[in-house]
Amino acid sequence: MGGGHEKIRQTIDRLRREIEQHNYYYYVLDAPTITDAQYDRLMADLQQLEKENPLLITPDSPTQRVGGKPREGFTTVQHPVAMLSLANAFSDAELAEFDRRVRGSLGGEPYQYVVELKIDGLAVSLTYQDSIFVRGATRGDGSTGEDITANLKTIRSIPLRLHQPVDLLEVRGEVYMPKESFVELNRRREEMGEPLFANPRNAAAGSLRQLDPAVTAGRNLSIFVYGIGAAELSGHQLPTSHSEGLKWLEGLGLRVNSHCQLCRDIGEAISYCRIWQNKKADLPYQIDGLVIKVNSLAQQSALGFTMKSPRWAMAFKFPPEQAQTTVRDIIVSVGRTGVITPTAVLDPVFLAGSTVSRATLHNEDIIREKDIRIGDRVVIHKAGDVIPEVVEVLKDSRTGGEKVFSMPAACPACGAEVVRATGEAARRCTGAACPAQLLEGMIHFASRGAMDIAGLGPAVVAQLTEAGLVRDVSDLYSLTEEQLLRLERFGDKSAENLVRAIAASKENPLHRLIFALGIRHAGERAARVLAEHFGDLDRLMNAGYDELITIPEIGPKIAESIINFAREPQNRALIERLAEYGVNMTAEAAPASLSDGPLKGKTLVLTGTLAVLKRDEAKELVEQAGGKVSSSVSKKTDYVVAGENPGSKYEKAVKLNLPVLDEQEFLALIKPVL
């Protein structure tokens, strides 16, 4: 091996060690030692070196946390030691009975208990071989679970390599979603009209069972490891107690919960349970009780198991916390994407650590299903210990004076029409100039696939809106350098560059403007098709539903969204203002690439990393050549363009005997449009 190659390998090893050490500080110890920008730089350096030296990529590299290809399904894994569930206790008396059985079975031997928080998540098994994380699985039926290794690798609090040498180690842990992440995930799903998760546990389980690891990676999951399933150590002795085992696991770099108490008897254990029953709302994650375990591993072995659960452990489950109150009003708010959300205004009531005076009702279907009326007496709880929610209406308490609620026909923020698309639960404001949607709408308008205004990122958009310089996207075109120079972090050059970039965007092709307007369901491809078909924005805004659905690739959802958008007066007014500022409203004559291009009517799939083109550049070239890009390979696929590390799409193409092009062959094919 040459000296240069060896130096590269050493650099890669050093970067991996640094990155994993920083992962440990950030995700396990919650004590970061570098900035996010510094961390991103280290990761970028490692990714570049591995790209240039693919033979040096190893399974435990930090770059391998997020797999690049979705899986077709999960295979099963046999657990080396059964992952049994725990028996439950709901009262002090039941815990005392558990202690009586332990005492009797141990025949007078002294014993201690360890009491831990019972994290409300999904139980998993992690297997390390020669200190490398090689497999992760769900509990399943206790004997076999599902192999979710790729998804577990995306959780940065799970080390890919242990801090100390271990021949073989299988540990058990609980994957969970923090409360804040649960709230944010449900907010995004609500705005997209997707079903909500009932609690963080369901959200964590659903995230771990995604076939695409990239989806799991975006869900901000974490883990606490709570026990050893199986272990093989050369020249080392295993811990002899559960409490020692937790410290040993922590020393290996695994994340262990710090809230753990060694108790002399069941009385101390019960007291510790009561402390956390009152404090659980203070935690950033959800717990549904505590687990009491005999500390000595030898005594655990002597106590043994039933068919379903260990005899040496018991879960103390908290009773559900609920309260009764009265619905005084139902009000609505407008979200960042225009979703109209109803909220119940309640008589204040103390629940799960805080005073609750409002509860989300999500959408009109929930109100109708539960028959919630203004004036009703209701039972509430906190979904996931976080979100106040109406559980049920106490209909026997009705007096006849309760009022049925109806969703508004107009947006409370801007007065635009509110519509409910076919098949969706949410109602949305159709106003493109709605102040409640201003921030997100402007970020989208300036984004790369839309008007592509360099320098107009989220932070600058926030500055402009907070300073009152923009009330809708048309105001961008009246900005001056003098106005920008009054804002923080703007100098002569940055102000000049932004004003120039905004002015340049006026010349963008029509399809970019159509996409930038944020018409629901009308993505980049649909915008191109619409621009080609109508030729100018005015014709599109006056198109009828019947004409729209006859256009290839424009289905009923897109057609309905365009009609809703076009009939809103404020949207028409916005387009008029953009036209007055000189923003291009017409398409160039349809180029040969769209009508008679070399890929006319062809469907292509892109897979792997291309050396010359970025993925979105390749996609744009396909569309300019008259073709379309699909995300999946099928018998209807005409070509598969394969770069480095093409994965399962390439394998499926070969299996189906489809034409596979490398990048140079692809470029030669579309040469007429280059």
DSSP secondary structure of 95-123? HHHHHHHHHHHTTT----EEEEEEE-SEE
What is the average pLDDT across 461-480?
Answer: 91
What is the average pLDDT across 596-620?
Answer: 81
Q: pLDDT-based confidence at 1, cuts 50/70/90? A: very low
Residues belonging to the chain? 674
Crossing angle of the two packed helices 266-279 and 92-105, in degrees rounded to 10: 150
pLDDT (0 to 100) of residue 70: 47
Is 118 annotated in the active site? Answer: yes
Alpha carbons 321 and 278: distance in angstroms, whole number: 11
Please, where in the chain does CATH 3.30.470.30 lie? 88-317
pLDDT digits (tens, 9 = 90+) for 366-377: 899 999 999 999
Order the strands of the 132-138 sheet from edge to edge. Answer: 132-138, 122-129, 168-176, 222-232
pLDDT digits (tens, 9 = 90+) for 499-542: 999 999 999 999 999 999 989 888 888 898 999 899 999 999 99
| Catalytic member of 118, 153, 382, 628 | 118
What is the average pLDDT across 460-467?
Answer: 88
Q: Which of the pair, 65 or 130, is modelled with greater confidence?
A: 130
Q: Which of the pair, 615 or 272, is modelled with greater confidence?
A: 272
What is the average pLDDT across 275-292?
Answer: 91
Question: 253-262 as b/e, with b when 16 or more CB fall inside 10 Å?
Answer: bbbbbeebbe
Alpha carbons 409 and 418: distance in angstroms, whole number: 5
Alpha carbons 609 and 411: distance in angstroms, whole number: 45
pLDDT (0 to 100) of residue 589: 52
In contact, 145 and 74? CB cutoff 8 Å: no
pLDDT (0 to 100) of residue 674: 57
By CB atoms closer than 10 A (0-12, 13-18, 19+), residue 118 is buried
Question: What fold is seen in the domain 88-317?
Answer: D-amino Acid Aminotransferase; Chain A, domain 1 (3.30.470)
What's the CATH code, domain 435-580? Answer: 1.10.150.20
pLDDT (0 to 100) of residue 672: 65
pLDDT digits (tens, 9 = 90+) for 404-441: 999 999 998 888 999 988 777 888 888 877 887 888 88
pLDDT (0 to 100) of residue 293: 97
Please, where in the chain does CATH 3.40.50.10190 lie? 596-673
Instruction: Give the CB-side neighbour count of residue 192, counting CA atoms within 13 A.
Output: 9
Please, where in the chain does CATH 1.10.287.610 lie? 3-64
Residue 19 CB contacts under 8 Å (≥ 6 apart), including other chains: 39, 42, 43, 46, 62
pLDDT (0 to 100) of residue 631: 74
Alpha carbons 356 and 609: distance in angstroms, whole number: 51
What is the average pLDDT across 13-25?
Answer: 83
Alpha carbons 506 and 526: distance in angstroms, whole number: 21
pLDDT (0 to 100) of residue 28: 66
pLDDT (0 to 100) of residue 37: 61
Give me the residues paired with residue 136 across strands. 126
Q: Phi and psi of 189, rounded to 5°?
A: -65, -40
pLDDT digits (tens, 9 = 90+) for 375-385: 999 999 887 66
Structure tokens at 152: 């577990």
Specify the CATH number for 596-673; select among 3.40.718.10, 3.40.50.300, 2.60.40.1260, 3.40.50.10190. Answer: 3.40.50.10190
- Residue 20: is its pLDDT beyond 90? no
134 in helix, strand or coil?
strand
DSSP state letter for 303: H
Give me the residues paired with residue 296 across strands. 241
What is the average pLDDT across 253-278?
Answer: 94
What's the CATH code, domain 3-64? Answer: 1.10.287.610
Q: Which of 132-136, 215-219, 508-512 has the lowest mean pLDDT?
A: 215-219
pLDDT above 70: percentage of residues in the chain: 94
pLDDT digits (tens, 9 = 90+) for 299-355: 999 999 987 889 999 999 988 788 999 999 999 988 767 889 899 999 999 887 778
Cα dihedral value 502, 503, 504, 506, nearest 10? 100
Alpha carbons 446 and 517: distance in angstroms, whole number: 10
Alpha carbons 647 and 644: distance in angstroms, whole number: 9
Q: pLDDT-based confidence at 40, cuts 50/70/90? A: low
Average pLDDT, whole number, for the chain?
Answer: 87
Query: Which position has the token pair 């295993």?
Result: 238
Q: How far is CA 3 from the centre of its chain?
A: 43
Q: pLDDT-based confidence at 496, cuts 50/70/90? A: very high
Q: Phi and psi of 452, rounded to 5°?
A: 55, 60
For residue 165, count other CB atoms closer than 10 A to its CB: 12
Q: Which of the pair, 393 or 213, is modelled with greater confidence?
A: 393
What is the average pLDDT across 626-640?
Answer: 85
pLDDT digits (tens, 9 = 90+) for 52-91: 887 788 877 887 775 444 455 678 888 988 898 888 898 8
Model's pTM, two decimal places? 0.58
In contact, 582 and 613? CB cutoff 8 Å: no
Q: pLDDT-based confidence at 29, cuts 50/70/90? A: low
Q: pLDDT-based confidence at 261, cuts 50/70/90? A: very high
Residue 643 CB contacts under 8 Å (≥ 6 apart), including other chains: 606, 607, 608, 609, 610, 611, 662, 663
Alpha carbons 224 and 533: distance in angstroms, whole number: 55
Alpha carbons 207 and 219: distance in angstroms, whole number: 7
Question: What fold is seen in the domain 323-397?
Answer: OB fold (Dihydrolipoamide Acetyltransferase, E2P) (2.40.50)
Instruction: Give the CB-side neighbour count of residue 41, counting CA atoms within 13 A.
Output: 5
Q: Phi and psi of 536, rounded to 5°?
A: -150, 160
pLDDT above 90: percentage of residues in the chain: 45
Of 624, 621, 640, 643, the residue nearest 632 (C-alpha): 640
pLDDT (0 to 100) of residue 172: 95
- Residue 126: is its pLDDT beyond 70? yes
- Residue 473: is its pLDDT beyond 80? yes
